[in-house]
Structure 1
Amino acid sequence: MRVLSAGLFAVVGLVLTGGVPAAASAGQGTGAMDYWQYHGHYQTHGQCVAVGEEYLWPHNPGGADDYECLASGGGWNLWLIFAT
C-alpha cells in the first residue's frame, strides 16, 4: 500500500507542478525500482536541500533514501526518493 499511495502522490505532484523528475532508477543491483514522492516547492536551492536532508536516514529513521531538488517555476521542487 505504501508504494501505491506514494506513487499516487508522485503522479498528483507531477500534474500539479508540471515537473517531471528523472525516470525511476533500479535500486543498487537488486532489480527493485525506486519511487519518487513530491514533497514541496521552495524559493531557493538551499531551502530545498535543507528540507531534503531532514528526511534522510539516519536523521529520520524510516525516512527517504535520497532526494533531488529540481528547478521549476522560478524555484525548486523537492522530490524524496524511496528504495523498494
Structure 2
Amino acid sequence: MADTTIKVDPAVRDRLQELARDRGITMRDLLAQLAGATPTKEELTQRREETKAYVEEHFLGGPYTEADAKVGEQLWADVLSGRIGEVQ
C-alpha cells in the first residue's frame, strides 16, 4: 500500500493521535476506520430511500406522506423530552 501525506493543523494531528492511542490503534488505522464509517451524501440518500421503501411496505401500506413525517417528528420530540412513557 502506498503512503500519502495529509496536511492538518497541529491541533488536529494531536487530536487524531490521542483518539488513535485511546483505541490502541495507529493513526493510519483510525483514519481508515473514520473514512469507512462515514457515509457519503449518495450513500445517505440511498439509505433514506431504502428506509422509506421499507416503512411504506411494512408499516404504512402506502406512500410516506408529509403528515407521516410530522407525526414521526413529534414522536421523536416526545421521546427526547421524556414525555413518552409518562404517567398522566
Structure 1 and Structure 2 fold alike (TM over 0.5): no
Structure richer in strand, relative to its length = 1
Structure richer in helix, relative to its length = 2
**Larger RCO: 1 or 2 (CA < 8 Å, sep 6+):** 1
Give the TM-score taking structure 2 as reference length.
0.27
Give the TM-score taking structure 1 as reference length.
0.28
